[in-house]
Amino acid sequence: MVAGRHMEALEETIAGRHDIHAVTVDVNDRNQIGAFTVRMIAKHPELNVLINDAGIMRREELTSKRDLDEAEQTIAINLLAPIRLTNELISHLISQPDATIVNVSSGLAFVPMSSTPTYNTTKAAIHSYTVSLREQLKGKVEVIELAPPAVQTEFIPGQSTREGYMPLGAFIDETMMLFLQQSTPREILVQRVCFLRWAERNGNFDKAVEMLGTH
C-alpha cells in the first residue's frame, strides 16, 4: 500500500507491480490521518510495516522578516505527520508479528544545508525521535532510520537531472541490499551519505557545512 496526495502520481508508482494498492491522504491534515489509519487497519488487519517518508523542502531566506507559512507546513508534513501516523498505528503494530517502522530522515539531519534551514531542522528532529522510539519499542517493534543523500528525483523541480546527485536506481539498489542484511541495520546509510552522517565524528563538520553552502 502506498499513500500520498495525488492519485495520478501514485498510479504511476504502482504501474506494472502486483499486489500494490494506492490510496490518497494528505498528511498535512491531522483529521485525515486519523480517518486514514482506521480505514487501513480495517481493510488490512495484517498491516505490520509503516514507512514514514512524506516530505517537502523549501529554500528560505533568514536575513529579513518573512511569511512563515511554508516553514510551518514543512514542520507539519516532515515532523508532525510521522509522529501522528506512528501514534495512530502504534497499538496495532505492537500487536503484529515482525512489526517495523521506517522513518526517512536525510543526510541533512547531520549536516545542515544553510539554504533549507527548516527542512534540516525537521530531519534532525526525526533522527532524534527515531532514537527515542527505538528505545521505547525495543523487543516490540523494529525501528529503522533511512537517511538518503541527495538523490536524482523530482523532490525539487530539476533535481532528477542534477549532476553530482546519486542516480535513483543506484540508490534503490544499494538501499535494498542494506535492508536485506541480517540483521537489518538500525540506520540505512548508502555510502554516498556517510560523509554527512559521520562528519562531526570525523572532524569534517565545518568543511561539510561549507560544501553544502555552495549548493
Dump pLDDT digits (tens) for 147-198: 999 999 888 888 888 888 999 999 999 999 999 998 999 999 999 999 999 9
Contact 2, 49 (CB under 8 A): no
Out of 3.30.420.40, 2.40.30.10, 3.40.50.720, 3.30.70.890, which CATH number does the structure's domain 46-212 have? 3.40.50.720
C-alpha cell at 164: 553530482
Are β-strands 2-4 and 49-52 bridged in parallel, bridged antiparallel, or unpaired? unpaired
Nearest-angstrom CA–CA distance, 26 and 4: 7
C-alpha cell at 178: 542494506
C-alpha cell at 60: 528560505
By percentage, how much of the chain surpasses pLDDT 70? 99
Active site residues: 119
Strand locations in the chain (E): 2-4, 22-24, 49-52, 100-104, 142-146, 187-188
Contact 188, 172 (CB under 8 A): no
By percentage, how much of the chain surpasses pLDDT 90? 78
- Three-state SS for 164-181 is CCECHHHHHHHHHHHHCC
At 60, which amino acid appears?
E
pLDDT computed for residue 105 by the predictor: 98
Nearest-angstrom CA–CA distance, 152 and 168: 5
Rg (CA), the chain: 18
At 199, which amino acid appears?
A
Contact 81, 52 (CB under 8 A): yes
pLDDT computed for residue 160 by the predictor: 84
All structural domains of the chain with their residue ranges: 46-212
- Residue 53: name the closest of 134, 158, 126 by CA: 126
Residue 85 in this model has a pLDDT that exceeds 80: yes
Nearest-angstrom CA–CA distance, 134 and 123: 16
Contact 52, 86 (CB under 8 A): yes
Distances (CA, A) of 74 to 32, 153, 183: 17, 19, 33
- Residue 88: name the closest of 161, 142, 34 by CA: 34
Dump pLDDT digits (tens) for 35-64: 999 999 999 999 999 999 999 999 999 999
